[in-house]
Structure 1
Amino acid sequence: MILDALKKSYDTRKQPAMTRFLPAVHWKLGGLLGWDGPRAGLDGRVASLHDRLPSDLARAADRMAPSTDPFVEVFQLDNEAARELANKTCHAIMHLGWVSTGDGGFELRMAALVKPNGLFGRLYMAFIAPFRCLLIYPALTRQWERA
């Protein structure tokens, strides 16, 4: 699958230091402050989108290998995939898809859908928005383009 190859190319060790640093700070703080505990995540605070999939997508998702990062696979097809994450700050979905460019080629598109959790989640997401938009997403996009 195209997205399998893309995921295999994703190596955080090759990212710029600042791009590695920001998520590391989040996960460290989340661990210390309990943001990422089981009761704050999927099937604790919120139900996984996987539970709402049509049966054919759910069966395909059940056969996928577990993720090695904090995101959980929702589904994966040949040309698109969705992954999700939930903690005390938000419930987030990352959707990746290959889209026809109209000239016979394809380009990768990503959508990040985030629902903040309460006032703390809204404040936290507002605080990190510039870092996500200016550092994290561009670095991920460059890495995926190289793949």
Structure 2
Amino acid sequence: MKLPKSAYTDPPWRMHEIDEGFTVEDVWALPTPGGPDDFPRLLRMMSGGDTSDNPSWIARTLFAIRWKLGEWFGWDSPEAKVGSRVATLRDRLPADLRDGPAGPEFDKLPFSSVFLTKDEFAAEMSNKTCHAVMHLTWVPDGSGGYHSQMAVLVKPNGRLGALYMAAILPFRHILVYPPLLKGIDEEWANQANNLPPRSRPRWRLRSRPV
């Protein structure tokens, strides 16, 4: 479910200490009902994601086209990544977060972890179009349980980045996020029911220890 941007801007998240220059693109409530200690399980699941296994063939095709365009135009070249085109957000962290854990490694997605707390996690990626952050939080649901929220923050790279983000907006909302959320819902439920791998949907979020 899409949430208002205030779901990110209003709570006192630590991310606010380093998000200067970024805009909130989207905020989503993820279908991950759980208890107070389930945040690490969510991070293991999310860090194993792979766009090639999206349950929607349309979304898989769009991602494949995006990676091919990036290859042709050099959008995803090493010099466009975090640490080259832009400095890592870890350089902005206050001392207590800098000395703490960064978070999990990502198996396939082009993200690197920035910081991790008991209920908040941020990962960043950069290419020639933008510098982006995936911000995950573990929040009470109002009925004694918890679920995750995901905010997407972006800092477009000049006119190219602004045009690119505007162009992909309808595709993300209509063709990418709905199957993404469905896949998360199915995998989370399968994990909770301890189903064997063969019973899981085609799009599996592989696990890696946090």
TM-score (norm 1): 0.86
Higher relative contact order (CA 8 A, sep 6+): 2
Aligned to 2:106: 67
Change beyond 3 A, Cα 1:20–1:133: same
RMSD between aligned residues: 2.0
Larger Rg over CA atoms:
2
What's the CA shift for 1:65?
Answer: 4.8
- Which whole-Å CA distance do the structure 2 matches of 1:81 and 1:65 have between them? 10
Q: CA deviation at 1:142?
A: 2.0
Q: Is this contact kept in 2: 1:9–1:144, CA < 8 A?
A: no
Q: State the one-letter code of the partner of 1:3.
A: L
Pairing 1:120–2:160 present: yes
Q: Any stretches of 5+ residues in structure 2 without a counterpart?
A: 1-39, 189-210
- 69-78 or 125-134: bigger deviation: 69-78
Aligned residue for 1:25? 65
Q: What percent of counterpart residues are identical?
A: 47
- Off by >6 Å, runs of 4+ in structure 1: none
In the alignment, the residues of structure 1 paired with residue 54 and residue 74 of structure 2 have an alpha-carbon distance, to the nearest angstrom, of 29
Q: TM-score scaled to structure 2, two decimals?
A: 0.62
CA distance in 2 between counterparts of 1:9 and 1:44 reads 25
CA distance in 1, matches of 2:155, 2:93: 19
Q: CA deviation at 1:43?
A: 1.5
Deviation at 1:144, TM superposition (A): 2.2
Count how many residue pairs are aligned between Structure 1 and Structure 2.
145
Between 74-83 and 96-105, the greater mean CA deviation after superposition = 74-83
Structure showing the higher helix proportion among its residues: 1
